[in-house]
Amino acid sequence: MMEFAATSQTGVAHKVNQDGYRLQRDEDGSYIAIVADGMGGHVAGEVASALAVEAIWQALITEREQDPDERLLRAVQAANAVIFQRAQEDPACAGMGTTIVVVIADESNLHIAHVGDSRAYLCRQGELQALTSDHSYVNELVRRGQLAPEKAHAHPQRNLLLRSLGTLPEVQVEYTRFEWSEGDLLLLCSDGLTNPLTDAQIATIVSVKQELSLRVHHLVQAAVAAGGRDDITAALLANGEASQRRDGE
Ligand code: CA
């Protein structure tokens, strides 16, 4: 038994929401969660993220017999081809791209593929643990020890990605697997959530024992209150019945 909720809000800096998401139980009993954060002029970012979510969803539900890692890599690569081709054919979409984070979850495992800086986190007993590492210039500086992690939030080039989906004919996809168990929470989100909020702030909101739909709304509200102007997307999947539990149980 799992519960889930997701929401997305257009940032005040944008006319349309360039984030896309889908979170749904698949026929085979697993859960599929996808968050994409599109980029490109005018409506192109919205097109890229919508194409990515749809192409990945369709690829995953039509290719269930492969191992999860292969299934995810093929789905993300298929989405890359769809977006890249559209960008070649439609001048309004030239140069568009998107981040992607996609998870296939069952009660024991999280299979995660990502490109760019949309993130997956595990929340266990009130502690937030990053499951993905951003493919961004700033994160590369942090990894090399050239930038303190606490300064990454405010770096002027924090939006510069080293990888994105749909901008080149081929894409390098990162796959990881984590074990999780009952009581754990999975959070997928765009940088509209993680730029204005600290991990500690996110962990506090995500851990409040209330319905998941309220938790994702409170995440968005907190990001806006902290000055977030970007599109904000948050998707939560609970291993077990999160909203039924009360403190002390
Ligand atoms: Ca964004």
* Each residue's pLDDT expressed in tens, for the chain with a length of 249 residues: 899 999 999 999 888 999 999 999 999 999 999 999 999 877 899 999 999 999 999 999 998 889 999 999 999 999 999 999 999 999 999 999 999 999 999 999 999 999 999 999 999 999 999 999 999 999 999 999 999 988 887 888 988 999 999 999 999 999 999 999 999 999 999 999 999 999 999 999 999 999 999 999 999 999 999 999 999 999 999 999 876 554 444
Distance of CA 23 to the CA centre of its chain: 11
Distance from the first to the final alpha carbon of the chain: 17
Within 13 Å and on the Cβ side, how many CA atoms surround 231?
Answer: 23
Quote the ligand 1 centre to 230 CA distance (angstroms). Answer: 6
Quote the ligand 1 centre to 195 CA distance (angstroms). Answer: 9
Q: What per-residue confidence (pLDDT) applies to 245?
A: 53
Contacting residues for 85 by C-beta, under 8 A, at least 6 apart: none
Which residues keep their CB under 5 angstroms from ion ligand 1? 37, 190-192, 230
Quote the ligand 1 centre to 37 CA distance (angstroms). Answer: 5
Quote the ligand 1 centre to 125 CA distance (angstroms). Answer: 28
The Cα–Cα gap between 84 and 79 comes to 8
Quote the ligand 1 centre to 59 CA distance (angstroms). Answer: 25
Query: Residue 99 carries which DSSP code?
Result: -
Residue 176 burial by Cβ neighbours in a 10 Å radius (0-12, 13-18, 19+): middle
Q: What per-residue confidence (pLDDT) applies to 247?
A: 47
Q: By the 8 A CB rule, do 175 and 102 touch?
A: no
Quote the ligand 1 centre to 233 CA distance (angstroms). Answer: 9
Q: What per-residue confidence (pLDDT) applies to 248?
A: 42
Q: By the 8 A CB rule, do 84 and 95 touch?
A: no
Describe the chain by its helix, strand, coil percentages, rounded to 5.
Answer: 35, 30, 35
Q: What per-residue confidence (pLDDT) applies to 158?
A: 87
Quote the ligand 1 centre to 222 CA distance (angstroms). Answer: 16
Q: What per-residue confidence (pLDDT) applies to 243?
A: 63
The predicted model scores a pTM of 0.95
Q: What angle do CA 222, 247, 237 make, to 5 degrees?
A: 55
Contacting residues for 69 by C-beta, under 8 A, at least 6 apart: 111, 175, 177
Q: What per-residue confidence (pLDDT) applies to 196?
A: 93
